């Protein structure tokens, strides 16, 4: 019996490691290209627009198909979709590394994003279906760590690999390194991911996929390209027109649910106050994180003249403290759990305000900044982990694909909105050359982040005090 228990624990550890590695490598590739764009420009003679699409092509296809990937995992099995997505991601990484020109690189990046969109939703689905109670809380804590470390590892690894210029390959190793990782992960997935159950008669909601993709294609490119295009008229027209397929998507999903079929997203689930407010909190907090990641790199590299490697390492304290959030939440008593997520986001807001005050006043240097970033990471880790634990426990396991698709898509789209809004604000405020203008610009941006974190605090407080059990019963 003892040997069996050890075997079960070993398989559970292997299963979780495989799932989190899939999340990790896809999140690395969201960030790694930002560091390599100057090298890509030099070696491929890529234009500014082409460089934008090298970065945004991955994010666009990734965000567009996350919900579809979650539903496909529900229909065909999360193990099968994880393996398919991993193969596509790895093959596209090879295509990126061998790309002879900018157009080929952009195409490979789009395919890479599709592979990530098929793979990543299966991570939360796998956790919800295979881990329960304290084991799930522990797994979700590790999920948060993998998510954050992947973002910063992308910056650090990009800086190291591009600077090393291995075999005179310049930027190409940032993609080619995915090949041995992908092969090893595929073998591990075959061993540790349990077989998918049979008997899944449901069909994919193709009309839902079409209208949702149309919405994302009309809304996200303007957010990605808006600043570079000076927020011209076509940007605002696309954003306005995106409301048409969004409205069609809502109508289609409601009709499909009304006749007893399986929609792409269960809109009745989203309408529950406990779920809706939790997603609002996720969006507000994620927006600040992606905005900080983007603007802090600009401030350190362009404003202060620091290296790309220094910029990546600057967030190590944030990531290390973020990783503490999961274990902290797991060991807290259940009676105070409704207050944990609001408390975490309140710490995040306070850290942003402290950072801004130090920057505005000119008091303190890099060490104080890194310490305050650590507090911010701790607050985000606590709030994020407690919020995701609340969301995944608020519904039955059969709604795991809905929650996985909603959470992951929410994070990506809110991140793009954060980069677009706060990034534009930074560029406007830092228009004058010199470190003083850059310092005041980042300080003002961080004040905005503090405000958004405070909104997340209010939203998650309302969610945590909602009647979750009643919401789950009404959905069922």
* Domain ranges for the chain: 10-199, 205-263, 266-476
- Tokens (6 digits) for 67: 């919900």
Per-residue pLDDT of the chain (476 residues; tens, 9 = 90+): 344 456 678 888 899 999 999 999 998 887 788 777 778 888 888 876 677 778 778 888 888 888 899 889 888 889 999 999 999 999 999 999 999 999 999 999 999 999 999 999 999 889 988 888 778 878 887 887 787 778 777 777 777 887 787 888 888 999 999 999 999 999 999 999 998 876 555 678 889 899 988 998 898 888 777 777 777 888 899 999 999 999 999 999 899 888 888 888 888 778 888 888 999 999 999 899 888 888 887 788 778 888 767 776 777 788 778 878 777 887 787 778 888 889 999 999 999 999 999 888 877 677 888 899 999 999 998 998 888 887 777 677 677 777 878 888 888 888 888 888 888 888 888 888 888 888 999 999 999 999 999 999 999 988 877 544 444 444 44
Q: What is the model's pLDDT at position 464?
A: 75
> How far apart, in whole angstroms, are the C-alpha atoms of residue 128 and residue 399?
10
- The verdict on domain 266-476 having CATH code 3.30.750.24 is no
- pLDDT score recorded for residue 325: 78
Secondary structure class of 147 (helix, strand, coil): helix
Q: Are 381 and 343 in contact (CB under 8 A)?
A: no
**Residue of 19, 20, 23, 18 whose CA lies nearest to 408:** 23
| Domain at 10-199: CATH code | 1.20.1250.20
CA-closest candidate to residue 282, choices 464, 442, 69:
464
Helices of type H across 331-467: 337-361, 366-393, 400-429, 435-464
pLDDT value of residue 5: 59
- Cβ neighbours, 10 Å, residue 333: 7
State the Cα–Cα distance between residues 39 and 93, nearest whole angstrom.
Answer: 17
Distances in Å between the Cα of 126 and the Cα atoms of 129, 384, 465 are 5, 19, 27
What letter does residue 197 receive in the DSSP assignment?
P
Is residue 468 within 8 A of residue 334, CB to CB? The reply is no
Q: Within a 13 Å sphere around the CA of 147, how many CA atoms are in the beta-carbon half?
A: 26
274/282 Cα distance (integer angstroms) = 12
Rg of the Cα atoms in the chain: 22
Please choose, from the candidates 313, 330, 357, 348, the residue with its C-alpha nearest in 3D space to the C-alpha of residue 155. 313
Q: Which of 273, 392, 288 is nearest to 344 (CA)?
A: 288
The whole-angstrom separation of Cα 181 and Cα 183 is: 6
Residue 10 confidence (pLDDT): 84
* Equal fold, 10-199 vs 266-476: yes
């Amino acid at each position: 019996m003892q040997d069996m228990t050890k075997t079960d624990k070993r398989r559970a550890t292997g299963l979780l490691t495989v799932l989190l590695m899939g999340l990790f490598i896809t999140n690395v590739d969201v960030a790694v290209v930002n560091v390599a764009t100057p090298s890509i420009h030099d070696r491929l003679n890529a234009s500014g627009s082409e460089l934008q699409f090298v970065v945004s092509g991955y994010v666009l296809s990734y965000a567009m198909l996350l919900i579809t990937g979650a539903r496909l995992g529900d229909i065909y099995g999360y193990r099968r979709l994880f393996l398919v997505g991993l193969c596509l991601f790895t093959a596209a990484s090879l295509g990126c590394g061998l790309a002879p020109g900018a157009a080929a690189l952009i195409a490979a990046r789009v395919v890479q994003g599709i592979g990530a969109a098929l793979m990543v939703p299966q991570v939360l689905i796998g956790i919800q279906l295979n881990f329960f109670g304290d084991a799930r809380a522990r797994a979700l804590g590790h999920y948060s760590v993998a998510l954050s470390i992947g973002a910063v590892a992308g910056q650090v690894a990009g800086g190291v690999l591009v600077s090393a210029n291995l075999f005179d390959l310049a930027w190409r190793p940032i993609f080619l390194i995915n090949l041995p990782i992908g092969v090893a992960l595929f073998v591990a997935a075959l061993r540790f991911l349990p077989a998918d159950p049979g008997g899944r008669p449901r069909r994919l909601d193709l009309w839902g996929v079409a209208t949702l993709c149309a919405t994302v294609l009309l809304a996200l490119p303007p957010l990605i390209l808006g600043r570079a295009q000076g927020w011209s008229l076509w940007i605002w027209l696309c954003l306005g027109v995106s409301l048409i397929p969004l409205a069609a998507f809502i109508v289609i999903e409601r009709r499909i649910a009304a006749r007893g079929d399986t929609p792409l997203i269960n809109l009745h689930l989203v309408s529950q106050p406990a779920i809706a407010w939790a997603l609002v909190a996720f969006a507000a907090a994620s927006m600040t994180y992606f905005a900080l990641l983007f603007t802090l790199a600009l401030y350190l590299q362009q404003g202060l003249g620091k290296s790309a490697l220094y910029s990546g390492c600057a967030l190590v304290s944030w990531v290390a403290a973020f990783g503490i959030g999961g274990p902290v939440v797991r060991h807290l008593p259940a009676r105070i759990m409704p207050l944990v997520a609001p408390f975490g986001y309140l710490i995040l807001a306070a850290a942003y305000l402290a950072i801004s005050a130090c920057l505005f006043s000119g008091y303190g240097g890099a060490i104080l900044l890194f310490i305050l970033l650590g507090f911010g990471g701790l607050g985000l880790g606590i709030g994020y982990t407690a919020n995701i634990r609340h969301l995944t426990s608020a519904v039955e396991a059969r709604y795991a694909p809905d929650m996985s698709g909603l959470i992951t898509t929410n994070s990506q789209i809110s991140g793009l909105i954060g980069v677009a809004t706060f990034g534009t604000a930074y560029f406007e405020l830092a228009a004058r050359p010199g470190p003083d203008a850059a310092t005041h610009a980042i300080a003002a941006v961080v004040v905005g982040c503090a405000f958004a974190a405070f909104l997340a605090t209010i939203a998650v407080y309302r969610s945590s005090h909602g009647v979750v059990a009643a919401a789950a019963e009404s959905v069922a």
